[in-house]
Amino acid sequence: MNPLNASNQMQNIKNLIGMARTGGNPQAIYNQLARQNPQAAQQIQQILQAGKDPKSVAMSMLQERGLDPQEIIDFIGGK
C-alpha cells in the first residue's frame, strides 16, 4: 500500500470518528464513508445484517491484514 494513500485513509477514518464523537449524525457518517469507500460500506452492511459485533469484526480484519488495532486506536486518539 502506498504510504501516502494509507495516511490519507487514516485521516479520513480519524475525521469520521471525530464526527461520531461530537454527536454527528450516524447516517451522515455512514453516507460519507460509503462515498469514500463503497467496498467498506458494503462490508459494514453485511456485518450489521448478520448481527455480528462490528468492533470484533473490525479488530479481526485489521489483524488479518497485519495491522495492530491498538496502534490505530492510539493514532486516532481512542482509549
Q: What is the pLDDT of residues 40-77, one digit of tens each?
A: 788 878 888 888 887 787 788 778 888 888 887 787 77
- In this prediction the pTM is 0.46
Pairwise CA distance, residues 58 & 61, whole Å: 5
Rg (C-alpha) for the chain, rounded Å, is 13
**pLDDT for res 74:** 80
Using the structure block, give the residue that is written with the C-alpha cell 491484514. Answer: 65
pLDDT at 2: 54
Q: What is the pLDDT of residues 36-45, one digit of tens each?
A: 888 878 887 8
Query: Position 67: which residue type?
Result: L
Q: Is 25 a residue whose pLDDT tops 80?
A: no
Classify residue 52 as exposed, middle or buried by CB count within 10 Å of its CB (0-12, 13-18, 19+): exposed
For 2-14, the pLDDT digits (tens) are 555 667 777 777 7
